[in-house]
Each structure stands twice: as structure tokens, then as C-alpha cells.
Chains A and B, each alone.
Chain A
Amino acid sequence: MITKKALPRRTFLRGMGTAVALPFLDAMAPALAAAKNSAPPVRMAFVYVPNGIIMQGWNPDYEGPLHELPRILKPLEPFRQDITLFGNLTHNTGRALLDGAGDHGRCCASYLTGVQPRKSVTNIKAGVSFDQIVANHVGKQTRFPSLELGMEDARQAGDCDSGYSCAYTNNLAWKSETQPLPPVLDPRALFERLFGNGTALTPAARARENLYRRSILDFISDDTRKLETSLGPTDRRKLDEYLSSIREIERQIEKAEQVNAQIDPHMEKPYGIPADFAEHFKLMTDMMTVAFQSDLTRVITFLVTHEGTSRPYREIDIPDGHHPLTHHRNQPDLIEKVTQINSYHMRQFAAWIAKMRSLREGDGSLLDNCMIVYGAGLSDGNRHLHEDLPTLIAGRGGNHFRSGRRIVYRKETPMCNLFLAMMDRMGIHVEHFGDSTGRLDALDLT
């Protein structure tokens, strides 16, 4: 029931089986100010790409203010003032350290945990990941403490890399030392999770919904009308754009389901997963945008494809598997193909950043209030190197980071030092995480 002009931050538009959270509206500001919490919350996300990156196409040959960006980062040119590039961050715990082969398994499992995972197919052990530590602290304030998302194969059992369980290559987030959090791959499942009322739709209910082709917006129309009458013109426009974006997501999912059903009614993939990589990426990131916009969660991990993947990229005329290509043995034609894959990933990411920057929130954009890390657990995928990991942050963590720069730290600087600095921004102050040796300096505005 919506009766006050000062809207609570946690207002939902409800209907049959549906609960749609709202974005940050001006009408919420008085209530929030009264609660001495007028600044929008800081959110963080990790976008992880596998098999390393062609570093010649990633690292600029300069430090300091960003100007011309190297080839792989080119899609971020319009947003270079919104990103911070890091040099020389290292994950020592991803290295062999006497455990032999298995860099893909180790680099993914250690990426957010900062610990060396136990080499095993059945008796897995890593550590609580940094995102989950944050989720434990800030998650009570949102509907979902965290979201774990991905786009490919979430097998949790079997040997995926030289004696390392698939649980290591296919998960970023770890709830406990022995419990990874598998990513949600299916946009339909994610949509229902974000906008459902917490109960899973039965097949019959879903069929009924499909039969009448009703949008969730139809179910919440009464609440929407009531709310609109209490909003100013700016908020009304913002609400309209927000609900339109949800409707657009619905349409994309429906389209993917229809196309998939026509291609192969017996395919193993859930019907909601688009066959096209870029469409899938867009759907997932559109929902991540909505989740951040409406403060459904403040912590997201997104495993684009799993570590060691041999996925081909026919979308860009590369039928070879990604992982075999990365062992290019310095052959220019293979390096070129990997560079194209890296650039293709970056184009999708840049489109998401554009969307995040276009949404106003508080005195800035939604992106300003985020820390979106894009990176990989290997730098040189050919040699399986764990130093100078390709890492950037899009966003300013609540206008706290001085972005638009490349900062090169000393070699061997632990990646966990960055995590400590990010935890500070999320309001969690710990002295040590993983193999950290201190906080990353030179990051803040101050």
C-alpha cells in the first residue's frame, strides 16, 4: 500500500506472484535523508573472463591519465574517465606452489578467495570468497545478499583441469571453504528470481502465464497506477523507463525461448538461454542493471564463461575453441583470434557500462555508485601467468575512486590488496584477506 510521499527505499510493486523493487527515486530522498542515509548505496560486481587476455592488447604503454586505449580496451574509449586500470596485481595462490598442472582450476578458485585451492576432484576446499564476506555484511539490507550469474556450463562435479574439480573452474563465489555458489545461467530463472515473490512458478502456472502472454507489469498495474499519482514528473519518467526496461527484458527472454524451441525442442539448455552470446550477455547484464538500480542486491559475480572453456565464437567467425587458441605458441594468427575474442567480450561489457552510466542516480549515474571489476585469473593464457592480471574497475565506488587513470603497482602486489580497499568502500574494515599485505594505495580521491 503506497500512501506516503516520502517513499521508503524498500518499496515493492506487488501483484499476483510478483514483487518488483523500485529504483532510487527522488521521492525516496526525504525518507532517506531522515534516516541519515541520503547517499545511494555502493554496489560491486565482478565480471570474470577466462583463459587470460592478450596483454599486448590490454596494457597501455603509459601510466597516469588515460588517453588512447589499447585495442582490446577500445570499446571503453567513451568511458575512459569512468574506469581505473591496474597494473601488476598478482594472485600468488593461483600459481602451482608445488601442486603441478591445473592453472585454470586454481586461478578461478583463488580469484575471489585469495587462497590456494586443494587439488582434488572430489574433496574440494578453497575459502570464503571476498564477495560473500561483503554479502554477509551488507546483504541484510537488500532482498538478495548476492547474485551469482554466468553464461556457460555450471557442472559442479568431475575433473575439469588436471585433477581439479569442475567446482573450481565453474564458480567464482564461495559461501564456505567447501561450498561454492553455482551461477545462474538461465535468464528466465534469473528474471523469476528477481521479480517473483519468492516462490518458484510451477510448470502449470508458467504455461498459463505464457498462454495469455501476460507481462509481470500487468500483475502490478494497480500498484503502479497508485504510485504514479504520488510521484513528480521526474520520478514518473524514471519509473516509466525502469518498467519499460523490465518489459524489454521479458520480451528478449520470450524471444529466446521461442527461437530455441524452434531450433531444437529437445535441447539440453534451458529455453530461456539465447543461442547468441551477445544477446545472452545483454540479457544477463540488463537484469544486473535492474538488480542494482532497484537495490535488490549490492553484490554480483558474473562468470562470463568458465575457466578453461573451449567455447567457439562462431558469432565472430572463430570456430576454434577459446582455450586451445590461447595456447598460441606466439603464432600471430592465433594471437589475432584470441585478441578478437577478448575484444568481443569487451564490446559486450562496454555496452553494459554505457547502460549503467546512462541511468541517473542521486547526483550522478548508477555507474558512479558501483565498483565493477572486469578481469581474469590469468594474464598470459599461453604461459599460464598469474601476475600482472588484467584488471580494471568501472565506476567510482560512490564517487570515491579517482578514475580515468592507469595505476601500476610494484610487481607481486597481491590482488587481495585491491579487495581490502574495495571492502573499505563497502563499509567493511578488515585487516587481512587471503594473501593480502595491506590496502592498495593511490586509489582514492583523497
Chain B
Amino acid sequence: MQFPIAAKPPVGIVFDSAMRRIDDVLALAMLHGFDGKREARIAAIGVSSGDLRAAQFCDAVRLFYAGATPEVAAMFLHSLPVGLADGKPAAESRMYRAAYPNTIKNADDTADPGTLIRNALMAQYDQNASVVLSGPATDLAKLLDMYGEKDWVARKVRLLCAADAGAWADPAGQKVLAEWPTPIVTVSRELGEALPFPGESLEKDFAYANAHPIAEAYRAYKPMPYDAPSWAMAALLFAVHPDAGYFKLSGSGNRRELVLDPQQKERVIRAYVEMASAKPVPHQPRHPADEKKKEAAK
């Protein structure tokens, strides 16, 4: 018997990022924060730079927020794999020097980002997914080239939010800008710089974990102290809460720009810190019935 769904679940976020800047890493943390607080759901995570270390980091962060070891994850956690574009980045990112437990040994443990995003979108309610793009639009361009995919995107996605206008500079970006069937909002350069993530937050808000992967990546990215521009975080915040009045929109039609609302500056930064530093919500493994009985008998 099927039960009627009372309401749609929170918006599903497809996060496709190069994972080359610290704001990508902070946005990834925010996404897990939103997911833990049931304000959004992680639909898919793709790494467009082809950096295997970045994909491993994304997987390690998944385990961190689930409170699971790779062994427990293999037994109990079930989520789509990380997407990883073909090719390698020119240089290794210093952000991923620290190694964390993860389930990715090589590229076979990741998915083609186009296929991954397609599969993830098929599991979303209509108009209940948003795509956050930070970095080149190559994965999304490939998605549009897949058979029948433009229709799926139009049906499932309500918004594409890009962290950087630079994404539209190359042929893949131009294709996405021209053919993407939903509204596109691009974060303005000034906005990301005007709303920096406060570096001082690391020492207090992330201190709950000894080796917090996000905090360690932040420290490894640049000599401390520094505040980080927030393009990807702004894109994610708008994708999750487009009607919450965090930002203003310039222009009109289906291609618009996200701009700063000076009155919302503190509120936005508070939201960044709150979500990026949200504590993990550990996975509760389901015990076999007889183990439950034993526990109850104690």
C-alpha cells in the first residue's frame, strides 16, 4: 500500500564543484550542516577538477558528518558515490594534504559526474532540486548532452546557482548558459568578497572535533589568520533558501545575478558560520531484532 506524501522533503542539492578554493570546502561543510538540520538534502556531490584527493576528501567529510568509519559506512550507510570528472588538475591542492579515512581507493570508486547527477535527479520530486555550481560547468554541459536529460533537468530542477561568473567563460559554460532549462543565478564577484567567512570561527566553532577536516583544510589553504571569500557558500545559501531575503537579485528573466544586501550582511555571515560549523549527526545503525531484545533485557 502506498501512503500519500504530506509534503515534499527539503530541497535536494546537487553540489558540483572544482574543490580548488576554500569556499568550496566551506560550502561542502555548510551542505552537510543543512542536511543534518533537515533544511536541505544532499542529492549528489561532484568534483569537476578531476582531483582524486578532493573526491577522497569529500567522501571523508561524508563519513565525518555521519560519524562512521569506512567499515561501518560500507555496512550501513547508503548514499550515492562522489562524482569525479575525467582528467587531473594541474597542481595538487595543499588543502588535501592530510589524509582522512574514506572509501575511495581509485577513480573506479567514484562516478562519472554526468551519470551521477542524472541518477540523483531521477530520485527528486519535481521542482524540488537545485544545482550549485562552483568551478567550470563541464559536468553540467555533459549532463545536457545526455539522452533526454534536458527534459529531466527542466522537470526536477528549480534553480541553478553558480558561484562564479567565470564559469560561463569557456565553451562548456556558454553551452550551459544558453541551454540550461531553469533559471540561473550567478553570485557577483563583489558579493563573495564583501561577505567573508570569519577565520576566527575556526578556533571556537570547529573545536568540538580534534581533527576537523574542514578546519584543517582551512588552515592548510593559506597562512592563518585570514577570512575567506564566500562565493560558493552564498550560492548554496541562496539555493537552499531562495526566499529568505539573504540577498538581492539584479536583472530580470531567467539569468540573474545575486548581489549584496548590506542590511543582511551579519545575518548571512551568521548563517555561514552556523551551518559550516554544525556538529555531525551521527548515523544510528539499525541493530538486528535479537540484539535489540538483548539490550532491552539489560
Contacts and interface: CB of A to CB of B under 8 A. Distances in A.
B174 interface: no
Contact of A412 (B2, B75, B78, B80): B80
Interface stretch (B89-97, B114-122, B182-190, B229-237): B114-122
A255 interface: no
Contact of B288 (A119, A329, A385, A412): A329
Contacts of A92: 118-119, 122
Nearest to B76: A383
A150 B116 CA distance: 34
A88 interface: yes
B108 A412 contact: no
Given A119-B2, A330-B288, A413 B78 contact: no
Nearest to A63: B108
A163 B125 CA distance: 20
Interface residues on B, range: 20 to 34
B211 interface: no
A414 interface: yes
A88 B105 CA distance: 14
A137 interface: no
A429 to B, nearest CB: 15
B82 to A, nearest CB: 9
B143 to A, nearest CB: 10
Contacts, number: 60
B147 A412 contact: no
B109 A411 contact: yes
Interface string A301-337: 0000000000000000000000000000111000000
A251 interface: no
Interface in B68-100: 75, 78, 80-81
Interface stretch (A93-101, A194-202, A369-377): A93-101
A330 B75 contact: yes
A27 to B, nearest CB: 47
B110 interface: yes
B108 A411 contact: yes
Given A96-B123, A98-B123, A437-B146, A410 B107 contact: yes
B288 A410 contact: no
A23 interface: no
Given A100-B2, A385-B78, A437-B114, A409 B108 contact: yes
Contacts of B139: none
B48 to A, nearest CB: 15
Contacts of A97: 122-123
Interface in A396-446: 408-414, 431-432, 435-437
A114 to B, nearest CB: 12
Contacts of A127: none
Contacts of A331: 288
Nearest to A414: B115
Most chain B CB within 10 A, of A90, A92, A119, is at: A92
Contacts of B119: 90, 92, 412
A436 B112 CA distance: 13
A437 B115 contact: yes
A413 B75 CA distance: 21
B123 A410 contact: no
Nearest to A431: B147
B1 interface: yes
B111 interface: yes
A11 B289 CA distance: 62
A130 to B, nearest CB: 16
A87 interface: yes
B108 A95 contact: no
B110 A411 contact: yes
Contacts of A330: 75, 288
B110 A432 contact: no
Contacts of A95: 123
Contacts of A119: 2
B111 A410 contact: yes
Contacts of B125: 98
Given A97-B123, A331-B288, A411-B81, A88 B75 contact: no
A237 to B, nearest CB: 48
Nearest to B125: A98
Interface string A324-367: 00000111000000000000000000000000000000000000
A135 B67 CA distance: 51
A385 B2 CA distance: 21
Contact of B112 (A93, A100, A116, A410): A410
Contacts of B111: 410-413
Given A92-B122, A330-B75, A437-B146, A413 B112 contact: yes
Interface in A78-131: 87-88, 90, 92-93, 95-98, 100, 116, 119
A226 B274 CA distance: 90
Nearest to B142: A437
Contacts of A383: 78
A325 to B, nearest CB: 14
A414 B147 CA distance: 13
Contact of A432 (B1, B108, B147): B147
B146 A408 contact: no
A87 B108 contact: yes
A121 to B, nearest CB: 10
Interface string B116-139: 101100111100000000000000
Most chain A CB within 10 A, of B1, B108, B116, is at: B108
B112 A412 contact: yes
B81 A412 contact: yes
A163 B112 contact: no
Q: What are the nearest 9 A-B pairs in CB distance?
A: A329-B288, A412-B111, A411-B81, A92-B119, A411-B111, A432-B147, A408-B108, A97-B123, A412-B115
Interface of B: 1-3, 75, 78, 80-81, 107-112, 114-116, 118-119, 122-125, 146-147, 288-289
Given A92-B118, A100-B3, A432-B147, 20 more contacts: A88-B108, A90-B119, A96-B123, A97-B122, A98-B123, A163-B1, A329-B288, A329-B289, A383-B78, A385-B78, A408-B108, A409-B108, A410-B107, A410-B108, A410-B110, A411-B108, A412-B81, A437-B114, A437-B146, A437-B147
Interface of A: 87-88, 90, 92-93, 95-98, 100, 116, 119, 163, 329-331, 383, 385, 408-414, 431-432, 435-437
